[in-house]
Amino acid sequence: MKIKSTVIKCFKAFLHKNGFQIVKEEDMKMLTAHYWNVSIKKKNSKKIDKIDSIVFSKDRAMQLHAFLESYEKLVLNKGLMYILYKTSNERHKKSYLELQNIFNNQDYIFIEEIDFRHQLLEISENSNAKIIGSYVDDQIFLITVDYNKILKLDMEEHVVALSRGKDLDEHPGRHLVLPEFEKRADGFESFRWDYSESYSHWTYPVGVGAYFYCMDEWVVMLRSTMFKAPNSLEGNLQKFVPLFIKRKGICLPQIACVCIPANLVQTEWVNGIVGTHTIEELLDQWEKGYKIDLNEFYGKSGKFAMSQTYNFIKR
The enclosing domain of 65 has a CATH number of 3.90.550.10
**Within a domain: 278:** yes
The partner residues of 189 in beta bridges, in order of sequence, read: 183, 251
Count of domains forming the chain:
1
Q: Is residue 71 part of a domain?
A: yes
The answer as to whether 12 is a domain residue is no
Strand 48-58 relative to strand 139-141: parallel, antiparallel, unpaired?
Answer: unpaired
Average per-residue pLDDT for the chain: 86
Q: Which amino acid is at 152?
A: K
- Read off the pLDDT band of 303 (50, 70, 90): confident
- DSSP label at 267? -
Q: Give the pLDDT band of residue 267 (cuts 50, 70, 90).
A: very low
| pLDDT at residue 170 in the model | 80
Kindly state whether residue 281 falls inside one of the protein's structural domains: yes
Alpha helices of 207-293 — where are they, by DSSP H? Answer: 215-223, 230-236, 241-244, 279-287
Across residues 253-268, what is the average pLDDT?
74
Predicted pLDDT at 175: 85
Of residues 211, 214, 296, the one with CA closest to residue 257: 211
Classify residue 227: in a domain, yes or no. Answer: yes
In a domain, residue 104? The reply is yes
Q: Is residue 11 part of a domain?
A: no
Q: How many whole angstroms separate alpha carbon 297 and alpha carbon 172?
A: 19
Task: List, for residues 53-74, the tens digit of each pLDDT value.
Answer: 999 999 999 999 999 999 999 9
Residue 215 resides in a domain = yes
95, 60, 99: which is closest to 81 by C-alpha?
A: 99
Residue 20 has pLDDT above 50, yes or no: no
Q: Show the domain range for 156.
A: 24-314
